[in-house]
Amino acid sequence: MINPITRVSAVAGMFYPGSAAELTDTVRQFMANALAAPAGVPKALIVPHAGYVYSGPVAASGYACLAAARNLIKRVVLLGPTHRVAIRGLALPAASAFDTPLGRVPLDGELEQMVLRLPQVQQNAMAHAQEHSLEVQLPFLQMVLDEFTLLPLAVGMASTEEVAEVLDCVWGGKETLIVISSDLSHYHPYSQAQQLDQETGRQIVALQPLADHQQACGATPVNGLLLCARRRGLQAQLLDLRNSGDTAGDRSRVVGYGAFAFQESMAYGQ
């Protein structure tokens, strides 16, 4: 049984505004300026996880796709890479909810029990305690969706098949959204980063697995989603591709950000 405790915000006031009013205004501004979203509600998104000043505009291009799904999506399965604690497999927090300045997001106990039956999944409070890759997605989700439950999984050393097995276990229907949190290339000069990220974007849209974490820090969960997408006949679309040199940083050493949407075909129950 998951302990009835709440995982408090670890990076509020650092990666994103710490006050509810400022955070609401910030996300609203990002969403208002987001690139036009494609028609249809995606089954899955890939969105970046840096500080909002850097990656927020690109993340908003992904979350803009959910405008028509405010009352439809009731469960969010959120996977992101670990940055501070090395783990084997995928980790759930030892908590029943996540807090942000916008309020509390309850964890989905039913889905937790389902994935805990898999050998590659365990509880690990330390893996979540200071991890930003999952937390920074929550204010966007809280702004674009009504009530929803969350399955947050910190992804460490795991195979593509292990990640895909977890996703298959909780795939669900239209009520379930899958979000993969990942940045792209790190600390290359601007023009080189553009070339690298364009190739990574091409591979993702073609559902081709990424070679390593130099392409994307979240390559492990990304590849798990890509495997599921190939098996299930999903189609991927590039929504936005920029880097920190485009948003809020200098261009000598940049970090790449991409937003991608994955749509299920009519043949798979749509």
Q: How many CB atoms neighbour CB 119 within 10 A?
A: 9
Q: Is residue 35 part of a domain?
A: yes
Query: Sign of the C-alpha dihedral, residues 166, 266, 176, 203?
Result: positive
Q: Is residue 173 part of a domain?
A: yes
At residue 267 the predicted structure's pLDDT band, cuts being 50, 70 and 90, is very low
CATH at 134: 3.40.830.10
As a whole number of angstroms, the distance between CA 123 and CA 251 comes to 40
Show the tokens assigned to 257. 């950000």
Per-residue pLDDT at 249? 82
Q: Is residue 228 part of a domain?
A: yes
pLDDT in tens, 185-204: 999 999 999 999 999 999 99
pLDDT in tens, 15-25: 999 999 999 99
Quick check: 131 and 83 in contact, CB under 8 A?
Answer: yes
Quick check: 209 and 246 in contact, CB under 8 A?
Answer: no
Q: Is residue 186 part of a domain?
A: yes
> Averaged over 88-104, what is the pLDDT?
97
At residue 213 the predicted structure's pLDDT band, cuts being 50, 70 and 90, is very high
H/E element, 257: strand 254-263
Q: Is residue 131 part of a domain?
A: yes
Range of the domain at 168: 6-268
The number of domains in the chain is 1
Q: Is residue 59 part of a domain?
A: yes
Pairing of strands 75-81, 103-106: unpaired
Per-residue pLDDT at 211? 95
Query: Residue 89 pLDDT > 60, yes or no?
Result: yes
Question: 3-class SS at 70?
Answer: coil
Q: Is residue 1 part of a domain?
A: no
Q: Is residue 125 part of a domain?
A: yes
Show the tokens assigned to 151. 């399955």
Show the tokens assigned to 222. 């990304």
Distance of CA 124 to the CA centre of its chain: 19
Q: What is the DSSP track for 184-230? A: --EEE-HHHHHHHHHHHHHHHHTTPPP--TTT-TTHHHHHHHHHHHH
Place of tokens 């991890």: 131
pLDDT in tens, 52-62: 999 999 999 99
